Amino acid sequence: MMHISNSHFSGRPAAGPDTPRRPGNNDGPGTAVITRTKPQTKRPSLYRVLLLNDDYTPMEFVVHVLERFFNKNRDEANRIMLHVHHHGVGECGVFTYEVAETKVTQVMDFARKHQHPLQCVMEKK
């Protein structure tokens, strides 16, 4: 039976020639703590795209814009158009910044091309 003295046994395996050592500690293998941080993804800000009422743009043109650029069906487009007509402003949809900006530009360009003063704006939700 072999006797091991407590003064020589630390409870850790002995370091071999290939085992890295920690600086300042010559009696055990090197240890490293590797932590992986999960990236925090922030939801993008959302923007409401709004149509503003005017006294010159035909209602049918507004319905067409809602169908073409916002993929609204005829009933939904009519409902939004009437809301714009009665309340002065109506929401076409909610999008990320880049999508909202693109929609506003498309609507404004289309309205100008057809010589209508329709205004389309975006606001942070």
- List pLDDT tens digits, range 23-68: 555 555 677 788 888 788 899 999 999 999 999 999 999 999 999 9
Mean pLDDT for the chain overall: 86
* Separation of alpha carbons 111 and 63, rounded Å: 12
Q: Residue 93 forms beta bridges with which residues? A: 49
pLDDT at 108 over 80: yes
Q: What residues contact 95, with CB distance under 8 A and at least 6 apart?
A: 46, 47, 49, 103
Tens of pLDDT, residue by residue over 112-125, are 999 999 999 999 99
49 close to 80: Cβ distance less than 8 angstroms? no
- Cβ-based neighbour number of residue 65 at 10 Å: 26
**Quick one: which of 44, 52, 65, 53 has its CA closest to 125?**
44
pTM for the complete prediction?
0.69
Residue 73 has pLDDT above 90, yes or no: yes
